[in-house]
Amino acid sequence: MRRACIRGTGFYVPDQIVTNDDLAERMDTSDEWIRQRSGIERRRYAPDDVGCAELAYRASLRTLEDAGLEPNAVDCIILATLSPDYYFPGSACILGQKLGLPGVPAIDIRAQCSGFLYSLSTADNFVRGGQFQCILVVGSEKHSMALEFADRGRDVTVLFGDGAGAVILGPTEENRGVLSTHLHADGSLADALWMECPGSAHPRWITREMLDEGRIYPKMEGRLVFKNALEKLPQVIMEALAENRMTLDEIDLFIFHQANLRIIEYVAKQMGIPAEKVYNNIQEYGNTTAASIPIALHEAIKKGLLREGQHVLMASFGAGFTWASAIIRW
Ligand code: UT7
């Protein structure tokens, strides 16, 4: 039976470290508030001249090296982001150009915090169906240039960081690889977490009013998002287990989208998942949206937390709303 397996992992975060205290100098917030509410201690910000595709490029080079492959081995690029370089063309095309891969298909996926798992699912189906043999799957975000560094935006601004993470997916006939993926969306609460402007839903692309009202910045109804995450994450975890006739005990490692340590701890406690089976790094990088799962996956592997034959379950919830899960046998 042909499955898709991960042949390499990697990530890149920019050098600039921004602490909670650094943010407290720019808006009415505190290290204590940010740590208590989210678990975040610091995050990284990219320089002005480094955008989404460049972050993705740097993560991709490391991932290819990890897989022992040259860029020209890649036959498809899938890039998840909510912070693309341009409105169009997609950042996957820019990434393909940076990697020197003319003619290789390049797909942008817009599923926010679930972007990586949506991309993994797409790639898994391409590999199992036989259309592509070596897919570069990347999650990349440059949030820092679109956040509002003022009291008005403080609830959102303190949560996000820049970074990119990637995996290479290829076929295997062995009894390992992606066992299943589970994707969901519900647009009825789209405005609970969104960046409303600019956009084609408006009569004008961008107006002075939009700028003055701060509608060009991300906005979130934090408690509503929190509540929905607590409901949907356990559901999508149980769905993945049921599909594979597995129990929670058979999962060796859990990697959640790094949105808020409190959400992850609450879900783990509620479901009876031991804390030592959950890998978190939100303390270091904040919420890097589509990049957070592949960054955490790479770190967990390099720390020896995932060995051959073990199972990792990944789950996400975020803007859209979108939520998703996947189980991989390593
Ligand atoms: O990755 C996408 C998915 N995102 C998520 O899953 C995030 C889900 N939501 C959350 O993580 C939490 O709701 C937050 C961390 C965003 C906020 O935590 P909270 O406990 O829900 O706080 P809150 O929004 O209810 O605000 C509590 C208080 C308010 O003040 P009052 O009205 O009680 O006086 C806020 O104005 O905290 C205030 N506040 C802040 N204070 C200091 C909001 N942001 C800040 C801040 N610093 N940065």
- The model's pLDDT over 57-67, given as tens digits with 9 standing for 90+, comes to 999 999 999 99
**Taking a C-beta distance cutoff of 8 angstroms, is the pair 81, 139 a contact?**
yes
Measured from the Cβ of residue 103, the count of other Cβ atoms closer than 10 Å reads: 7
Give per-residue pLDDT as tens, 285-323: 999 999 999 999 999 999 999 999 999 999 999 999 999
Q: Helix (H, G, I), strand (E, B), or coil: what is residue 41? A: coil
Superfamily of 3-174 according to CATH: Thiolase/Chalcone synthase (3.40.47.10)
The Å distance, Cα 86 to ligand 1 centre, comes to 30
Which tokens in the block code for residue 78? 């899938």
Which tokens in the block code for residue 166? 């990637």
Ligand 1 atom nearest the C-alpha of 260 is: 11
Note the pLDDT of residue 267: 98
Q: What percent of the chain has pLDDT over 90?
A: 100
Substitution candidate for ligand 1 out of 37, 191, 231, 232 with most atoms within 8 A of CB: 37
- d(CA 261, CA 273) in angstroms, rounded, equals 14
Bridge partners (DSSP) of residue 315 are 256, 325
- Bond from prior residue into 71 cis (ω within 30 degrees of 0): no
Which tokens in the block code for residue 278? 């959950």
Give per-residue pLDDT as tens, 89-146: 999 999 999 999 999 999 999 999 999 999 999 999 999 999 999 999 999 999 999 9
Note the pLDDT of residue 309: 96
Give per-residue pLDDT as tens, 197-253: 999 999 999 999 999 999 999 999 999 999 999 999 999 999 999 999 999 999 999
Mean pLDDT of the chain: 97
The Å distance, Cα 46 to ligand 1 centre, comes to 25
Catalytic residues: 113, 257, 287
Per-residue pLDDT band at 46 (split at 50, 70, 90): very high
Residue 86 Cα to chain centre, angstroms: 19
Say which CATH topology domain 178-329 has: Peroxisomal Thiolase; Chain A, domain 1 (3.40.47)
Tokens 């601004």 belong to which residue?
Answer: 157
Beta carbon of 318 within 6 Å of any ligand 1 atom: yes
Give, for 282, the enclosing helix (H) or strand (E): helix 282-285
Per-residue pLDDT band at 20 (split at 50, 70, 90): very high
- d(CA 13, CA 19) in angstroms, rounded, equals 15
Residue of the nearest CA to atom 28 in ligand 1? Answer: 155
- d(CA 25, CA 21) in angstroms, rounded, equals 7
Per-residue pLDDT band at 68 (split at 50, 70, 90): very high
Measured from the Cβ of residue 37, the count of other Cβ atoms closer than 10 Å reads: 17
Reported as half-sphere exposure (CB side, CA atoms, 13 A), residue 290 has a value of 31
Substitution candidate for ligand 1 out of 143, 226, 256 with most atoms within 8 A of CB: 226
Note the pLDDT of residue 210: 96
- What contacts 215, CB < 8 A, 6 or more positions away? 196, 197
- d(CA 314, CA 293) in angstroms, rounded, equals 7
Decide if 3-174 and 178-329 have a common fold: yes
Residue ranges per structural domain of the chain: 3-174, 178-329
Beta carbon of 158 within 6 Å of any ligand 1 atom: yes
